[in-house]
Structure 1
């Protein structure tokens, strides 16, 4: 049976692991709390452990210094007594040196110290091995620090210092930390001053300190781990309800208004869950009321629009009859018949747009997709609005590429959007020209309508698509608009997954841009036509 080999971690995986770790750090409150607490605890516990080890070390060394100096003073006093008692019968320098060094060396082998006896006037730079010094077997005379030797060149006071004690063990030289205590004596045989050095190995103290250090490190590590575990448990108790609240809030945002938090206990988190559930219930009730109100409004608009069709048809027939016979009326009656016909036309358009808006509100609009050339759409719209443009004294021009500008869309709706934009531009052009620009790229196709009329004030570029909104309510409509054209145009653009955007400046005109994806369902990234016209730069 063959088994697939597990892929070993590689250095290339490190950036990915770091990125995942940073993601967890950013998203998880519990992880940040645990890591922060562990780091702070490690610093505090490490500092306390270091202070403890330092105190133990200082105590051990202080005790060893006191014991070493006391033993050095005692042994020196005994050596002086032996020299005093032997001075009347033996004036041989070598013999007196042996009387001092030999007993000390023997007792030192039992009590755990080394002895070195040397003249005090030996220069510091000289090697003690070749100047007639007497020492314990295997002791390296260079274990005596130069600073201590320099001290006893002119002082009789006891002194001590730390050193690196080197002693021959077997066939190799062993180095251990040590304490060296020095005293000064005078030899009766020659009257010269000699320095007696006692060297104490600190093996036991070092072992004790190592044991204390290991215990402190292990205890600190276990304490930090314990603190981390406790922090994790506490953080989980606090964060888990928050995560549940987040999940329920996401479900509520997704439309599942019946979701609620489970309440257990009477603590602050339980009270928070109760308040959250009460808020969710209130929101659900308000949303249901708004949805019901919206359904009532949509149904009212649809019912009214449908019910108005029958009387409108009757009034249209009567209006057409009066309009056809207006030559037989007096001038006032004939003018009234013409105004009646105009308002009936406008009322019929308004009724149709209200029905269209109600279909959008009910979500009952479907696209009839086909390949549409925006150049042809622009040409048809210019032809349809030629009479209105001529009556308003507006020249409509089209700028378009030589190649077809195709998009997959509902041709009827796209043409209606462009017609609304062009009639709106003619209505606000103030007898200046209107320019229609068509362009496209590999992802999108766009058509822009630019006028040089009254323009838009700051903030009105978003409000212009609101239903029945007018920048100047007192302004007369040249084209008989209903106030719903741009709203329907925006809904048509959104239905195609496109953009309908406006730009304008007071007195500098406005530009409306429709951008559609080349293929239905594709997401737009950019538009081939800039929303801010190039000729509007000086007026920015």
Structure 2
């Protein structure tokens, strides 16, 4: 039991450690994504950042290319200089060695080997201790003398460094100095080296090849220093280019930013905002033109506001003034309409019915105009209370049932089982839904009308869908315009005023809600009302799709 308990304990500890590690990795990934998101937003929002970064990158590319070209040219120059110096030095040392061989009196093999070592030591010491070179002496390929001397090398680099191609070249033309570039390994480093080959005549022993190896250590160190200097200079130059770009772009971006800030304040209604205009350059011209445009817009807006105020006052005054004579006319029409059965002339009776119907439409239009004037004056207010929209939809559908029956349409409600409770002014919401349902029946061409109710955590939506004529492209943006009609030639059959959808849109906006339209010819149309569940809330999405394609 104790053993199994220990295993279980270790397993639990390992699981906890794995869980903590997973959480740490998840937190790290989330932090990285957030940082990347902030960087992307900063990149998209800052013109100065993009210009400075692009300038620095282009400057870095130019400095890199230029530095590479200069570096390669300097390296080529040092290489050519080293080869030339090596040739002259090897030529002098070869002549010195030949002179010493000619003055030598050695005859035996041992004496000749000792003389070779002495000559190698003397020619190495003749150039001074600061000169780094290696000497190799080996029997020439064409030497047929019976006296064979040992091959000599002065240090770590020996005959293995000399390539077969160089040895063949020396053997083919002994009278000419042969040069070759190669790579050698010295003190654990790979270094380029110049190998110069010549031939000396050894008394009794015949021709021997003499190779001088010059490692380019100093040149490599020089190029390393030059490369470091180029890197440091490139970084400094790139930073300087970036600093210059910051200064230059600031002179351009700052006025543009100020123009953007002034434009935002203008769009917020602060029409007296202007840009500071100094100097005579292009930016000053931009500021002057911007200010002139703002002056013109301010003048036109004030003119339009004056005209709108006059129009609103006119509509309000006319609507109120018409109510008194309209009341009198209504009383007279009601009396005449009530006695129409006693008219001997059927034409007179029919005219009375038409008069009563048109008076109803006139009263509805007058009521809508008064409501519009309240919206324009900012006097509309909400009487908010908790309402289950399923009941409101039911009342609207029941009221529209006689009209739907006359038009040959059926209205079907699709509501969820859960309550669609929302804080609204039920009178206004009922008016919105009534306008939508009546319009759907009128334009549905006798086809079914569907009313969908959707609920989410933050919003409630109602979609009224018909399958009639639909909307042409662009009509969805115009259906809420006052007195707008999709087909001006089509006769009205239900006595609409042309203001229903406009008032509905204003009612939806009072609730911080959305009223949207979708339609296509032959596919019908859909109107969606979306309301926040709590008064004063903000909408981010709707529980129901606007178009059938989103289903």
* Fold match by TM threshold 0.5: yes
Q: Does residue 50 of structure 1 match 2:64?
A: no
| 2:125 equivalent in structure 1 | 109
| 2:88 equivalent in structure 1 | 70
Where in structure 2 are the equivalents of 1:507-522 lying within 5 Å?
510-520=525-535, 521-522=537-538
| 1:144 equivalent in structure 2 | 161
Deviates more, 1:254-263 or 1:412-421: 412-421
- Any idea what SS the aligned residue of 2:209 has? strand
**Mapped partners of 1:499, 1:19: distance in 2:** 30
Where in structure 2 are the equivalents of 1:357-396 lying within 5 Å?
357-385=372-400, 388=403, 392=406, 394=408, 396=410
Contact 1:371/1:406, CA 8 A, preserved across alignment: yes
Within the candidate set 103, 111, 132, 1:95 is matched to: 111
Unmatched 5+ stretches in structure 2: 1-26
Where in structure 2 are the equivalents of 1:256-405 lying within 5 Å?
256-326=270-340, 329-331=343-345, 332-385=347-400, 388=403, 392=406, 394=408, 396-401=410-415, 404-405=419-420
- Any idea what SS the aligned residue of 1:483 has? coil
Where in structure 2 are the equivalents of 1:130-279 lying within 5 Å?
132-136=150-154, 138-142=155-159, 144-147=161-164, 148-156=166-174, 157-163=176-182, 178-190=193-205, 192-279=206-293
* Shift in CA distance, 284/441, structure 1 to aligned 2, threshold 3 Å: same
Deviation at 1:75, TM superposition (A): 2.7
Deviates more, 1:32-41 or 1:347-356: 32-41
Where in structure 2 are the equivalents of 1:352-501 lying within 5 Å?
352-385=367-400, 388=403, 392=406, 394=408, 396-401=410-415, 404-428=419-443, 432=446, 435=449, 437-443=451-457, 444-449=459-464, 456-501=471-516
- Any idea what SS the aligned residue of 2:316 has? helix
**Mapped partners of 1:290, 1:24: distance in 2:** 39
Contact 1:143/1:163, CA 8 A, preserved across alignment: no
Unmatched 5+ stretches in structure 1: 1-9, 124-129
* Shift in CA distance, 396/209, structure 1 to aligned 2, threshold 3 Å: closer
Deviation at 1:365, TM superposition (A): 1.1
* Shift in CA distance, 474/490, structure 1 to aligned 2, threshold 3 Å: same
Contact 2:382/2:425, CA 8 A, preserved across alignment: yes
Contact 2:48/2:253, CA 8 A, preserved across alignment: yes
Deviation at 1:258, TM superposition (A): 1.7
Deviation at 1:102, TM superposition (A): 1.9
- Any idea what SS the aligned residue of 1:491 has? helix
Contact 2:440/2:449, CA 8 A, preserved across alignment: no
* Shift in CA distance, 429/91, structure 1 to aligned 2, threshold 3 Å: closer
Q: Does residue 25 of structure 1 match 2:43?
A: yes
Contact 2:337/2:352, CA 8 A, preserved across alignment: yes
- Any idea what SS the aligned residue of 1:399 has? strand
- Any idea what SS the aligned residue of 1:523 has? coil
- Any idea what SS the aligned residue of 2:382 has? coil
Deviation at 1:328, TM superposition (A): 5.4
* 1:498-528 superposed Cα distances (whole Å, 9 cap, x missing partner): 3444455656665544444433325162244
**Mapped partners of 1:423, 1:463: distance in 2:** 18
| 1:3 equivalent in structure 2 | none
Contact 2:113/2:150, CA 8 A, preserved across alignment: no
* 1:238-270 superposed Cα distances (whole Å, 9 cap, x missing partner): 222122222222222222222211112111111
| 1:120 equivalent in structure 2 | 140
Deviates more, 1:394-403 or 1:316-325: 394-403
Contact 2:139/2:151, CA 8 A, preserved across alignment: yes
TM-score under structure 2 normalisation?
Answer: 0.80
**Mapped partners of 1:27, 1:105: distance in 2:** 74
**Mapped partners of 2:189, 2:402: distance in 1:** 115
Deviation at 1:299, TM superposition (A): 1.1
Deviation at 1:274, TM superposition (A): 1.0
